[in-house]
């Protein structure tokens, strides 16, 4: 199988396969934004995956000869990536987040939040409380954010909450896949409604935040993801408003709330002009993530009611 007639000669080695995929992707109209930023990076994920090689493999694998099965699988996946605009993690059935591998399919959005970097930095310097004993991943989708937190904080219990039953099924599979069943709980909830009186040291949330205009003008790849996990009202902030108005009740006094709102951040500042949101900067890219302490949530409590 050739992809749109290019190139006709099938690759034989890892090096040839990387060039084959990269050139085909560059000549296509695919959009990169689901874990890879370029044709080359996506080609590395695709080729090394079908070759069953680690993603951090070095140049020593370039001369390795691919099996006929691997070449056929690579061409089939590449064809679907280009013709159907399916994001690569859905095609592979797995995604990488915070240095960890997770199961990934169309029951939940593909993990790509810059919150991964914050978790790996142990929330420094933004969290100033005692060693966290309990963390909440709110709007967890497939559970990658919360499970990464559980991995990097081995003495912490983590709760994964989402309203979407399909996403929660995937989250449960990932809990088992990560070997974290003893410390991670999965619960269906409309934001905080099912929680009762529990308190957290850290609440992490990557809620739906795409506004109505962007929801109708996204690259084709995003339409393969659950719409429920993307759109959040006319300005993209319907759920974020609810989170801000309720989160303080579920945080310890030294607690921290971290929320990703993407390009809806500018609107958020217009909606709450008196609130000094702390916008986080990331070494490896990403924006639109703010941190706010439990004390700040209390100090600006009247703003959440406006």
Q: How far apart are CA 273 and CA 296, in angstroms?
A: 14
pLDDT at residue 5, rounded to an integer: 46
The string of DSSP codes covering 100-150 is EEEE--TTSPPP--THHHHHHTTTTTT--SSSPSEEEEET-TTSHHHHHHH
- Residue 35 in contact with residue 49, Cβ under 8 Å? no
As a whole number of angstroms, the distance between CA 168 and CA 195 comes to 16
CA distance 102 to 107: 13
Q: What is the pLDDT of residue 8?
A: 61
Digitized pLDDT (tens) for each residue of the chain, 306 residues in all: 445 545 567 899 999 999 999 999 999 999 998 988 899 999 999 999 999 999 889 999 999 999 999 999 999 999 999 999 999 999 999 999 999 999 999 999 999 999 999 999 999 999 999 999 999 999 999 999 999 999 999 999 999 999 999 999 999 999 999 999 999 999 999 999 999 899 999 999 999 989 898 889 999 999 999 998 998 899 999 999 999 999 999 999 999 999 999 989 999 999 999 999 999 999 888 889 999 999 999 999 999 987
Report long-range pairs for 243-246 (Cβ below 8 Å, ≥24 apart).
243/138, 243/191, 243/205, 243/207, 244/272, 244/292, 244/297, 244/304, 245/304, 245/305, 246/191, 246/192
């Amino acid at each position: 199988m050739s992809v749109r007639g290019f190139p006709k000669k099938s690759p034989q080695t890892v090096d040839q396969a990387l060039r084959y995929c990269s050139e085909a992707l560059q000549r296509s109209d695919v959009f990169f934004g689901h874990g890879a930023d370029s044709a080359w990076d996506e080609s590395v994920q695709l080729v090394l995956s079908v070759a069953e090689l680690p993603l951090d493999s070095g140049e020593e694998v370039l001369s390795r000869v691919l099996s006929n099965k691997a070449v056929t699988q690579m061409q089939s996946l590449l064809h679907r990536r280009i013709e159907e605009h399916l994001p690569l993690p859905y095609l592979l059935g797995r995604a990488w987040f915070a240095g960890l591998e997770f199961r990934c399919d169309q029951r939940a959005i593909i993990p790509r939040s810059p919150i991964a970097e914050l978790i790996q930095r142990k929330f420094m310097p933004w969290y100033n409380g005692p060693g966290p004993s309990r963390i909440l991943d709110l709007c967890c989708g497939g559970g990658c954010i919360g499970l990464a937190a559980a991995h990097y904080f081995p003495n912490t219990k983590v709760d994964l909450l989402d309203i979407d039953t399909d996403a929660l099924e995937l989250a449960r599979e990932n809990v088992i896949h990560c070997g974290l069943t003893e410390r991670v709980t999965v619960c269906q909830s409309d934001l905080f409604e099912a929680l009762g009186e529990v308190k957290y040291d850290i609440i992490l949330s990557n809620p739906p935040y795409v506004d109505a205009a962007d929801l109708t003008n996204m690259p084709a790849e995003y339409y393969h993801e659950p719409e429920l996990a993307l759109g959040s009202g006319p300005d993209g902030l319907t759920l974020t408003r609810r989170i801000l108005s309720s989160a303080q009740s579920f945080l310890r006094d030294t607690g921290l709330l971290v929320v990703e709102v993407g390009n809806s951040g500018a609107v958020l500042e217009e909606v709450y002009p008196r609130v000094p949101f702390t916008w986080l900067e990331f070494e490896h890219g990403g924006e639109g993530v703010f941190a706010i302490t439990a004390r700040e949530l209390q100090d600006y409590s009247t703003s959440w009611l406006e």
